[in-house]
Each structure stands twice: as C-alpha cells, then as structure tokens.
Amino acid sequence: MDILKQRIIDSAEVLPGNVLKVDSFLNHQIDVELVSKLGAEWYERFKNEGITKILTIESAGIGIACLTAQYFKVPVVYAKKSRGVTVGNDYHTTKVVSYTHGQVYDVIISKNAISKDDKVLIIDDFLANGSAIKVLIHIAEMGGATVAGAGVAIEKAYLGGGKDIRAMGYRIESLVKIKSINSKTITFDE
Ligand code: 5GP
C-alpha cells in the first residue's frame, strides 16, 4: 500500500534491534486519516467473510482496530495484558513473548467477549516473529470462534512469522512488507 510505504520512508526511525519507531503516525500519535485508509483496505479484502468481531491486543492495536471496525460495523475486542477486576473469573488466558520488550506476559479475554458464533478478523500494527498474531488466533479459538484471517499494517517479512502462520493455513493481509532493514535502510518487498 503506497501511502503507508511512503509514510514509513518519510517518518519511520530505525531503533537498535531493528525496531521501527512509527510514533508519529501509527503508535503514540495516530494519523486517523491514514489509519482509516488502512481499515478501508482491509474491509475491501475481508468484506465477504462474514466478520462479526475485530480482535486485537492492547495497546497499539486498539486504535487501528477501531478505525477498521467502523467499516465492518462490528465491535472490537482487545485482549488485555493484565486481569483487572472487571474481567471477573470467567476468562481465557494464554501467554505471549513481547517482540519489543522480550518479556513473557499473560493475555486475557473474558469468555463472554467471543463465542463459537463469531467469525473474527485479527488486526495489529506489526507482524514480526508472529507471536502476537498466533496468540490472538489461539485465544479466539479457545473461545470457539472461527478466525477469518489477520490484517497487519507492517510485516517484517524477513523474520518469517507471516510465512509460518500462512503455512498453518491462515490468511494474512499485510499492507506493507519489509524485506530487510540494514543500517537504517529499509527495503520493501513489493
Ligand atoms: P511478533 O509478536 O510478531 O514478533 O511482534 C509483533 C508485535 O511486536 C506487535 O504487536 C508490535 O507491537 C511489536 N513490534 C514488532 N516489531 C515492531 C517494530 O519494529 N516496531 C514497533 N513499534 N513494534 C513492533
């Protein structure tokens, strides 16, 4: 997707560990007009799938998921990283390794947030090693839902997480694929 690619070229910074800082448009500060266009694109790609819920993980995914859900006209469920009192005792939980922090943390959704009647579209900002998307697939399936696929804004294709998940039979629609990041130079796949 050219507008997203161009914004990465214009505004992304490469941090140590090849972490892309996209705080001026995707994380931290959100360019609502741009992210709405990402949502519209995923809607075009998944509109015939009978999506009933958008699923993401807090916190970076929430804004992107909400701007996408406005096209599908379905609710957003975001998996939580801590069990606040409002979650109660009836929840599904699993663990994920954070790409940016390297820590393992719990991921939680209430059992009443997703059911076997749901067809879920997963949305997230980045796909790197694939842990975040895999955990969202897992937790959706723990709730009995069907996973229609995942939409990610930026896939670090060189890390192979997307290849793995596609090989498991899931559809992933990433809007920009990064082929390599070398001493601050970002190369795109297509
Ligand atoms: P994965 O679980 O696929 O290894 O990593 C995806 C998660 O890590 C995303 O939810 C995202 O928050 C974070 N992430 C991975 N790579 C980057 C990056 O280059 N920049 C930022 N800002 N987040 C990233």
57-105: per-residue pLDDT in tens? Answer: 999 999 999 999 999 999 999 999 987 777 778 999 999 988 888 889 8
Query: Where does 19-80 have alpha helices with state H?
Result: 32-46, 60-72
Separation of CA 98 and ligand 1 centre (Å): 8
Contacts of 169 (CB under 8 A, 6+ apart): none
- pLDDT given at position 88: 79
Give the dihedral sign, CA 18/42/150/32: positive
Separation of CA 128 and ligand 1 centre (Å): 6
Residues with CB under 6 A from ligand 1: 19-20, 22, 27, 60, 99-100, 124-132, 161
pTM, two decimal places: 0.97
For 83, 89, 109, 110, 156, the CA distances from 153, given in Å and listed in that order, are 27, 33, 23, 26, 10
Tell me the best of 15, 99, 139, 176 to mutate to test the pocket of ligand 1, counting ligand atoms within 8 Å of each CB and taking the most.
Answer: 99
3-state class of 174 per DSSP? strand
Strand partners, 156: 178
pLDDT range class, residue 132, cuts 50, 70, 90 = very high
In ligand 1, which atom is closest to the CA atom of 132? 2
C-beta separation of 134 from 57 below 8 A: no
C-beta separation of 123 from 130 below 8 A: no
Separation of CA 118 and ligand 1 centre (Å): 26
Question: What CATH number is given to the structural domain containing 38?
Answer: 3.40.50.2020
User: To the nearest whole number, what is the mean pLDDT of the chain?
Assistant: 95
- Which segments of the chain are extended strands (E)? 13-15, 19-21, 53-57, 76-79, 91-97, 104-110, 119-127, 146-156, 172-182, 185-188
C-beta separation of 147 from 141 below 8 A: yes
Q: How many domains does the chain have?
A: 1
Provide the domain limits for residue 47.
2-188
For ligand 1, atom 17, the nearest C-alpha belongs to 19
In ligand 1, which atom is closest to the CA atom of 124? 10
Give the dihedral sign, CA 75/67/47/165: negative
98-130: per-residue pLDDT in tens? Answer: 888 888 989 999 999 999 999 999 999 999 999
